[in-house]
Amino acid sequence: MKNIYNLRSIAATAISQVLEQGQSLSSVIPELQQKVSDKDKALLQELCFGVMRVLPQLEWFISQLMAKPLKGKQRVFHYLIMIGMYQLTYTRIPAHAALAETVNGAISLKRPQLKGLINGVLRQFQRQQQELVEQANNNVSHHLHPKWLLARIQKAYPQDWKNIVDANNQKPPMWLRVNQLHYSANQYIALLQEANIAAELDKNYPNAIRLLTPCSVNILPGFDKGWVTIQDRSAQGCAELLMPRDEEKILDLCAAPGGKTTHVLEIAPNSKVLAIDIDEQRIKRVKENLQRLSLHAVVKTGDGRLPHEWAAGEQFDRILLDAPCSATGVIRRHPDIKWLRRNEDIDQLVTLQSEILDAIWPYLKKNGTLVYATCSILPNENSEQIKAFLERHADAELSGTGTLETPGIQITPETIGGDGFFYARLTKQ
């Protein structure tokens, strides 16, 4: 059956929703994916994420070929042109198909009169492509990052910033977390081999497996039965550092969509976990994930700054606080972050994180353990945040993660390794 939709126009709409309305790709794409065939879902994802990854380069191409950028109601066609250029530069889609499908996107977007313009710009791009790509590659002062963010990364990592931005510009590897209640990572990798899925173990993370090529979860052995979860290697370090034990009361704060809640329960299936998140929609995903893995936790919507509303005098043996953050460690997974975040967001996030930390600390039992984690690589959200917390709370002690001068463990994103992440473990004296 012939497709009755135009995929490029759907991708242009998604990009417009992100760049014009400030929505995230991960919130926009699932809804749009429902309109397309299974075969096209991956291409939709590739086009949208790809454009976000190299946005400044595509903007520059357009600036070289069009005297006036398309604005207002016509802005979506600016993104359609970018999608055309992205396909010609970064995919193996035959040029004639990429051009025809992109130009036809103007019909689906109800402006057939713009077909000529789009076709003209893309054909001119094709003629000058080699030269334009070379020039763009020579002019990489922005490294495909916004200026403010590049400056922050360069300041925090004067030696390593280049490796970090290079890793941010790659496509991310796909990591699995094997559910130790069913299989060891060694046993599961044998199942992957039987299914012809190439993968390798990680010697530092006991349950982690990296797939050599990302694939759909539907072909992973036992995914529906909860044998395995998609989770980056670095994220797997949080629950391990928390060291939960059966029978303990554990608070997983900022829990949605439940990647770490389920990990805690795989390590300690008889622990009593309370999972809290402020976002009602995302809380539903915690419940779905628990269900898929047949695990049990109490799940509630709540604000981490107001624990009296949902913890009612309870105290916990362990608290995992996976704080809201800039997500600057996971840019390769969510390249739209580069264009959604603003410099001024960082201070606001630092304030929110410290408010949650201060509010939750009284709810940790004496001798209890708190793990503070973020997927940020910015020191103000991480080591500096924990340093200030230790100065404010005389009964808080750093437990085996970093030094008092630079508390916590900071991981930076690596091309085939884990995401950028930070963890600090504190105990209460």
Ligand X SMILES: C[S@@+](CC[C@H](N)C(=O)[O-])C[C@H]1O[C@@H](n2cnc3c(N)ncnc32)[C@H](O)[C@@H]1O
172 is in an annotated binding site: no
101 is a site residue for ligand X (CB under 6 A) = no
Smallest separation (angstroms) from ligand X to the CB of 1: 38
279 is a site residue for ligand X (CB under 6 A) = yes
272 is a site residue for ligand X (CB under 6 A) = no
Q: Which is nearer to ligand X, 257 or 408 (CB)?
A: 257
277 is a site residue for ligand X (CB under 6 A) = yes
Smallest separation (angstroms) from ligand X to the CB of 402: 20
260 is a site residue for ligand X (CB under 6 A) = yes
Q: How many residues bind ligand X (CB under 6 A)?
A: 18
Please choose, out of 201-209, 278-286, 363-371, 378-386, the segment that lies near ligand X by the rule CB under 6 A.
278-286
Member of 255, 295, 396, 409 binding ligand X (CB under 6 A): 255
Smallest separation (angstroms) from ligand X to the CB of 422: 11
Member of 282, 287, 300, 393 binding ligand X (CB under 6 A): 282
Q: Which residue is catalytic, options 48, 238, 325, 375?
A: 375
Please choose, out of 2-10, 251-259, 343-351, 398-406, the segment that lies near ligand X by the rule CB under 6 A.
251-259
Member of 259, 335, 368, 402 binding ligand X (CB under 6 A): 259
Smallest separation (angstroms) from ligand X to the CB of 325: 6
- Distance, in Å, from the CA atom of 388 to the CA atom of 233, rounded to the nearest integer, reads 28
254 is a site residue for ligand X (CB under 6 A) = yes
> In terms of DSSP bridges, do strands 421-428 and 364-374 run parallel, antiparallel, or are they unpaired?
antiparallel
110 is in an annotated binding site: no
118 is a site residue for ligand X (CB under 6 A) = no
248 is a site residue for ligand X (CB under 6 A) = no
257 is in an annotated binding site: yes
Smallest separation (angstroms) from ligand X to the CB of 409: 17
312: left (phi over 0), alpha (psi -120 to 50) or beta: left
258 is a site residue for ligand X (CB under 6 A) = yes
Q: How far is CA 16 from CA 10, 29, 74, 185, 343, in A?
A: 10, 12, 11, 41, 21
Q: What is the largest CA-CA distance in the chain?
A: 71
Q: What is the 3-state secondary structure (H, E, C) of the chain?
A: CCCCCCHHHHHHHHHHHHHHHCCCHHHHHHHHHCCCCHHHHHHHHHHHHHHHHCHHHHHHHHHHHCCCCCCHHHHHHHHHHHHHHHHHHHCCCCHHHHHHHHHHHHHHCCCHHHHHHHHHHHHHHHHHHHHHHHHHHHCCCCCCCCHHHHHHHHHHCCCCHHHHHHHHCCCCCEEEEECCCCCCHHHHHHHHHHCCCCEEECCCCCCEEEECCCCCHHHCCCCCCCCEEECCHHHHHHHHHHCCCCCCEEEEECCCCCHHHHHHHHHCCCCEEEEEECCHHHHHHHHHHHHHCCCCCEEEECCCCCHHHCCCCCCEEEEEEECCCCCCCCCCCCCCHHHHCCHHHHHHHHHHHHHHHHHHHHHEEEEEEEEEEECCCCHHHCHHHHHHHHHHCCCEEECCCECCCCECEEECCCCCCCCCEEEEEEEEC
Member of 278, 340, 388, 390 binding ligand X (CB under 6 A): 278
254 is in an annotated binding site: yes
35 is in an annotated binding site: no
Please choose, out of 22-30, 140-148, 258-266, 311-319, the segment that lies near ligand X by the rule CB under 6 A.
258-266
259 is in an annotated binding site: yes
Please choose, out of 17-25, 158-166, 209-217, 275-283, the segment that lies near ligand X by the rule CB under 6 A.
275-283
Q: Which is nearer to ligand X, 160 or 303 (CB)?
A: 303
256 is in an annotated binding site: yes
Q: Which is nearer to ligand X, 171 or 284 (CB)?
A: 284
303 is in an annotated binding site: yes
Active site residue 215: no
Please choose, out of 7-15, 54-62, 75-83, 298-306, the segment that lies near ligand X by the rule CB under 6 A.
298-306
**Who's near 159: CB < 8 A, 6+ residues apart?**
none
- Distance, in Å, from the CA atom of 8 to the CA atom of 109, rounded to the nearest integer, reads 10
Footprint on residues 304-343 left by ligand X (CB under 6 A): 304-305, 322, 324
Bind-site residues: 254-260, 277, 303, 322
Residues that bind ligand X (CB under 6 A): 254-260, 277-279, 282, 303-305, 322, 324, 356, 375
Indicate which residues carry an active-site annotation: 375
Bind-site residues for S-adenosyl-L-methionine: 254-260, 277, 303, 322
